[in-house]
Amino acid sequence: MNSKASSLLSFAFVILFFSSASAFNITRILSHFPEFSSFNDYLTQTQLFQQINSRNTITVLVVNNNAIASLSGKPLDVIKKILSVHVVLDYYDVEKLTTLPKKTTVLTTLLQSSGLAVGQQGFLDVSLVNEGEIAFGSAVKGSSLNIKLVKPVLARPYNISVLEVTSTIVPPGIDQAAASPKSPPTAPATAPAHAPAKEPIAKAPAPTDEVAGDSPTESPSSAPEADAPNADAPNADAPNADDAAPVSSPVPSAADAAPTPTPSESGSSRTNVASGFLSVGVVMGLVALLVSF
């Protein structure tokens, strides 16, 4: 029993040893090289160090503080994309790069695996140029291989390789791809165009008010007409149809009453004539008095 327990314990220690040997921390590695302190700080700010440390096989292309100064002032999300292009998802040391089977080899970077790459932005081209120099560049069409390998910084075969390059690799259009989502504020402009359509609805009640105002004026005019037959109703209480004759009989009496105002009108005219004669007489008398004087 004791022998079995000791063998299991030793096997566990072996597993722990290999697992610890294969693990790495990129920020701790770069902390030993002050010339890469700015690159290391960007890895921390963008949280890229977590993605790098989670990989088992990786190659990091680092640049010194002077070369990375060109990224200052850029948005942090753009810097994250650019640094992601400097992380190759495979192990490449100087020996492996110098023995590439093809003249130009395409490398897959961390930006491609993130899903944020547009076109070929997530790939790098590496090639041997001049007399054995190793050059890197973006795989985007039209890009040039102008980034050169300076020196190896750290190599743990088939685990992690850190290589220094002359400058940052910025794929064409990576800045515009980050700024493009800010374009759609034009949609709300169409909303106010439909708002004035409600104004004609507010004008509709105006004619209804005029009709309502006319209805009370007509009702009093019809009311007196309705009262007239009601006043005559008591005289028509007789059950026989002969009572209709007396209702029509007063019509000739109304005709007789019509000429009566004529004498009153003639009397008033006569009084007016008499008063006219009196005024003429008074005027003549006054004239005679004046002549006598």
Residues 141 and 143: their CA atoms lie apart, in Å, by 6
pLDDT above 70 as % of the chain = 53
Q: What mean pLDDT is predicted for residues 237-262? A: 40
Report which of 26, 37, 29, 92 is spatially closest to residue 59, judged by C-alpha positions.
Answer: 92
pLDDT attached to residue 131:
80
**Least confidently predicted of 18-32, 103-117, 119-133, 247-261:** 247-261
pLDDT above 70 (res 270): no
Q: What is the pLDDT of residues 46-58, one digit of tens each?
A: 999 999 999 999 9
Q: For the chain, which residues make up each domain, given as ranges? A: 25-179
pLDDT above 80 (res 193): no
Residues 148 and 133: their CA atoms lie apart, in Å, by 7
Enter the tokens of residue 169. Answer: 């690799």
Neighbours of 146 (CB within 10 A): 12
pLDDT band at 279 (very low <50, low <70, confident <90, very high): low
What CATH number does domain 25-179 carry, 2.40.30.10, 2.30.30.30, 2.40.40.20, 2.30.180.10?
2.30.180.10
